[in-house]
Amino acid sequence: MIEVKDLHKRFGKNEVLKGIDLSISDGGIFSILGPNGSGKTTLIKSILGMVIPDKGEIFVDGKSLRNNFKYRNHIDYLPQIANFPGNLKVSELIAMIKDLRSTKTPDDTRLIELFKLQPFLDKKLVNLSGGTKQKVNLVLTFMFDSPLVILDEPTSGLDPISHLRLKQLIFAEKEKGKTILVTSHILSFVEEISDEIVFLLEGKIYFKGSIAELKTQTEQPDFEHAIASILSTSYA
């Protein structure tokens, strides 16, 4: 479904992506990992067309993204930092986003129920806690039921129950055949949900495969030590 070919991106002197080749097949949960600043968000934003690569090409369902913006209609994206207009009420924000994507039929009721957001619908966004804002962010992301879902740090600020509900939601979406791309610093979360991980290091893909394969390759007994062993090589 997603094919990334020889992707390069630099910001000034900072060469962030140095030739990424990546193939993400249809259906399943793929986690993108890597140290801070390794280019995870830059890669995600390139797939979303929010960052224009210097070189290389990305194909979604066989179609190049160059000068083609319609594919974005088939992606639901959870940004890492959601700067919502503080003066809007939650219900007004949901209505506004529905209006913007009017070609889609939203399913916000089920998600509002799932994250227990009813008591907050009449509240202004400026008055919400970080975790509640993140739940609103999740409702906005999942309500359009697109085949590709991209989640940048989805657990951010969530309490344990919402964390659990998010996992259930992600698994339910996978069952529908969706492809879900995730970045997260929470290794236990990544380990629980991922079919495959993609590890970015120094502008390249260091590893792509299952967690079991990563453990074998790094000769480590568990996921945490496997990740630590990659990082200690890069910091050495």
Per DSSP, the residues of 92-141 read HHHHHHHHHTTTS---HHHHHHHTT-GGGTTSBGGGS-HHHHHHHHHHHH
Candidate ranges 40-48, 67-75, 133-141, 172-180; the one touching ligand ADP (CB under 6 A): 40-48
Rounded CA separation 169/175 (Å): 10
Is residue 217 at the binding interface for ligand ADP, with CB under 6 A as the rule?
Answer: no
Is residue 53 at the binding interface for ligand ADP, with CB under 6 A as the rule?
Answer: no
Rounded CA separation 169/218 (Å): 31
Angle subtended at Cα 161 by Cα 157 and Cα 166, rounded to the nearest 5 degrees: 70
Between 106 and 203, CB nearer to ligand ADP: 203
Is residue 203 at the binding interface for ligand ADP, with CB under 6 A as the rule?
Answer: no
Between 40 and 135, CB nearer to ligand ADP: 40
Contact (Cβ atoms closer than 8 angstroms) between residue 174 and residue 180? yes
Min dist CB 208 to ligand ADP, Å, is: 16
Is residue 81 at the binding interface for ligand ADP, with CB under 6 A as the rule?
Answer: no
Min dist CB 86 to ligand ADP, Å, is: 24
Is residue 36 at the binding interface for ligand ADP, with CB under 6 A as the rule?
Answer: yes
**227, HSE (Cβ side, Cα atoms, 13 Å):** 18
How many beta carbons lie within 10 A of that of residue 93, not counting itself? 20
DSSP E strands, the chain: 2-11, 14-24, 28-33, 55-60, 63-64, 75-78, 148-152, 179-183, 196-201, 204-209
Q: What part of residues 1-30 is at the interface with ligand ADP (CB under 6 A)?
A: 11, 14, 16
Is residue 42 at the binding interface for ligand ADP, with CB under 6 A as the rule?
Answer: yes
Between 128 and 198, CB nearer to ligand ADP: 198
Pairing status of strand 28-33 against strand 196-201: parallel
Between 193 and 198, CB nearer to ligand ADP: 198
Residue from 4, 22, 30, 40 binding ligand ADP (CB under 6 A): 40
Tokens standing for 231? 């990082």
Is residue 106 at the binding interface for ligand ADP, with CB under 6 A as the rule?
Answer: no
Number of residues near ligand ADP (by CB under 6 A): 11
Binding interface with ligand ADP (CB under 6 A)? 11, 14, 16, 34, 36-42
